[in-house]
Chain A
Amino acid sequence: MVALIQGTLQLAPGVFAYFYHYAIGKHSFKKAHLLSPFFILGIIFTNALIFVTVASLITDSEILRAVMAGIFVALAVVGGVFYYRQGSGSRLYTPRKLASALLSGARNASSAHEAFLLGIVTGFSEVLFTVPLAIMVVLQVRTFESPIIQVGLISLDVFLTIVPFIVIAIMFRTGGNLADIERMRVRNKGFYRLMLCFLFLLLAAGLYNFGII
């Protein structure tokens, strides 16, 4: 469910699509295909860093789970009401200066390390949502004793997180363009908003009622 929520978040896929579009326009399809894995690696690196930080700082307790349930209710409200700005397009809650900086970075990234750094910065721009979700994953993963299962579950979560990027890359490779992707994102704005709200509420209810999802 956490991976599903992460897959619903729109900031990183938006930046990725914009980056891919400009990489094709400024360079070539080949260069865009070569650079895009580095952006995704940046996102994976950020997620891994968040997981490691959370795992080393968080200790499971009744109070923590109650606080997390409260945070998820708040995020359900944020996701449902404030995630998208009013008006046309798919403008998000992100502060405008940050959004401009990310879009400018996406327009100008032309090397592997710039794509990687853009991925890292983009990953950190969504910490409002990703840190509570990482705490949730760490709490659940710790209920398994085998380290192999723990690493496997976290790897699965990280993999599911990058599925939207793989879908966008496939869309570009199969003849799609930024206009198609953006139209799809705008068309599904309401659905993403509803999913975010519903899934966060479900997470909060599960945590509050059963202590486990």
Chain B
Amino acid sequence: MKTFNEKALKKDLLINAKALGIPSGAARTFADKIVKNVSKTLKNKKIITESDLNRAVLKELNVYNADLAYVYENRDKII
């Protein structure tokens, strides 16, 4: 089970976006949209697993930036 924290997700996305060289204005705009859409997707679920959250975030990220989606998807698979 995972607690969905909008602020933490947005912060994580912005850190990764900055590291990937995505302009901060664009990053802020799509981070807001992603957090909003993920919240909407997960709103009706009583219990959210980590993979539910990852799947929802990845679905949104793939729309905006392929590199960011790749880093998010593989962040725990690097070593």
The answer to whether B78 and A17 touch across the interface, beta carbons within 8 angstroms, is: yes
Q: Is B25 an interface residue (CB 8 A)?
A: no
What's the A-B contact tally at a CB cutoff of 8 Å? 67
User: Interface with B: A21-29, A73-81, A137-145, A203-211, which one?
Assistant: A21-29
The answer to whether B70 and A179 touch across the interface, beta carbons within 8 angstroms, is: yes
The answer to whether A25 and B18 touch across the interface, beta carbons within 8 angstroms, is: yes
Q: Is B47 an interface residue (CB 8 A)?
A: no
The answer to whether B67 and A102 touch across the interface, beta carbons within 8 angstroms, is: no
Task: Kindly list chain B residues whose C-beta atoms are within 8 Å of the C-beta of A177.
Answer: 19-21, 67, 71
Interface of B is mostly: helix
By size class, the interface of chain B is 10 to 19
Q: Is B45 an interface residue (CB 8 A)?
A: no
- Looking at B20, B70, B75, B79, which has the most chain A CB atoms within 10 Å of its CB? B79
Q: Is A190 an interface residue (CB 8 A)?
A: no
Given contacts A177-B21, A178-B71, contact A94 B16 (CB under 8 A): no
Q: Is B50 an interface residue (CB 8 A)?
A: no
Interface of A is mostly: helix
Q: Is A50 an interface residue (CB 8 A)?
A: no
Task: Kindly list chain A residues whose C-beta atoms are within 8 Å of the C-beta of B42.
Answer: none
Complex CA gap A179/B77 in Å reads: 12
Q: Is B74 an interface residue (CB 8 A)?
A: yes
Q: Could you tell me the distance in whole angstroms from the C-beta of A56 to the nearest C-beta in chain B?
A: 31
Q: Is A200 an interface residue (CB 8 A)?
A: no
Given contacts A21-B71, A179-B67, A182-B70, contact A92 B79 (CB under 8 A): yes
B interface residues with partner A (beta carbon < 8 Å): 14-21, 66-68, 70-71, 74-79
Given contacts A21-B19, A179-B71, 11 further A-B contacts (CB under 8 A): A10-B79, A18-B79, A21-B71, A25-B14, A25-B16, A87-B77, A90-B74, A177-B19, A177-B21, A178-B19, A179-B66
